[in-house]
């Protein structure tokens, strides 16, 4: 891919922009790979850009919590049952396979389980850590002109002298996630200095470009991945959230879990568009 970019006369900054901000690669390994995947990812960006508004990204009103809520409602239409505010007490196994869970002293039996690493720490492995900063603002991000209520900023690693990109996502009143006149930004990157280093400084560039902040909250979060595909135990574990703010990796992880659970490739061209009738 690098040779193709140079053939068309792209300078280093443009290559960074195309590879990291459009194709959404998280490192520079794509430069040494065949161009097919990168061109496909660029086309996806273009196709998304012309679908709705002036951005290739969609963000749900009232925040990302609306996505699981929408899933819960649709699942209920298909006969799903939800136990809200219920703390998991125990996972039941039989002959090495998932058999159910104990919640509130009651047993819910099932043949498969999908969960995040928090529920099964013995089935995941630590891969790296993620530095995050939650920034509360009373103005739009200072670096964006003209001012905008919501945006995503990707700072390629080459532009900030790092091995990892820095991701910034800012949303505000128009997305119904903050009071009028306030904005919420999340800045994240892969930790390179370790827990004993100055890890807060690793997102400093992303925080500073936002302008003066009302308050900033920092965290160092572990990123876990499942040790296996879950098919033997029928416990299918997701990965943790990585530093990216566009959720491409999260979407791909959902596809991975679906295909592992069903044993079938998901066909996005033939998805059901309507829930079953209540009649």
pLDDT tens column, 89-128 = 999 999 999 999 999 889 999 999 999 999 999 999 999 9
Give the separation between CA 237 and CA 123, rounded to whole angstroms.
8
- Look at residue 277 in the predicted model and tell me its pLDDT: 59
* pLDDT averaged over every residue in the chain: 92
What is the pLDDT, as a whole number, of residue 279?
A: 47
pLDDT by residue (tens digit) across 206-243? 999 999 999 999 999 999 999 999 999 999 999 999 99
> Would the pLDDT of 75 be above 90?
no
**Verdict on whether the full-model pTM lies above 0.85:** yes
Q: Would the pLDDT of 9 be above 90?
A: yes
pLDDT of residue 59: 87
Choose the weakest-confidence range: 100-109, 146-155, 210-219, 264-273.
264-273
């Amino acid at each position: 891919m690098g040779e193709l970019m140079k053939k068309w006369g792209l300078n280093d900054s443009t290559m960074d922009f195309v590879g990291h901000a459009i194709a959404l690669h998280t490192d520079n390994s794509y430069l040494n790979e065949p161009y097919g995947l990168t061109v496909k990812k660029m086309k996806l960006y273009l196709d998304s850009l012309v679908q709705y508004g002036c951005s290739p990204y969609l963000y749900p009103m009232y925040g990302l919590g609306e996505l699981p809520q929408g899933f819960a409602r649709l699942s209920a239409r298909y006969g799903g049952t939800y136990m809200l505010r219920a703390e998991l007490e125990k996972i039941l196994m039989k002959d090495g396979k998932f058999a159910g869970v104990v919640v509130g002293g009651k047993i819910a039996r099932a043949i498969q389980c999908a969960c995040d690493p928090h529920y099964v720490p013995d089935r995941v492995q630590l891969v790296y850590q993620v530095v995050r900063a939650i920034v509360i603002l009373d103005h739009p991000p200072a670096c964006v002109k003209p001012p905008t209520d919501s945006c995503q900023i990707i700072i390629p690693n080459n532009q900030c002298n790092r091995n990892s990109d820095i991701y910034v996502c800012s949303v505000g009143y128009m997305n119904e996630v903050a009071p009028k006149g306030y904005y919420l930004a999340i800045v994240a990157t892969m930790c390179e200095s370790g827990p004993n280093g100055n890890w807060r400084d690793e997102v400093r560039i992303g925080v500073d470009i936002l302008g003066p902040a009302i308050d900033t909250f920092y965290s160092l979060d572990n990123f876990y991945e499942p040790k296996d595909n879950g098919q033997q135990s029928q416990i299918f574990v997701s990965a943790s959230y990585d530093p990216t703010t566009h959720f491409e990796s999260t979407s791909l992880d959902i596809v991975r879990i679906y295909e592992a659970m069903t044993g079938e490739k998901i066909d996005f061209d033939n998805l059901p568009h309507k829930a079953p009738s209540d009649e």
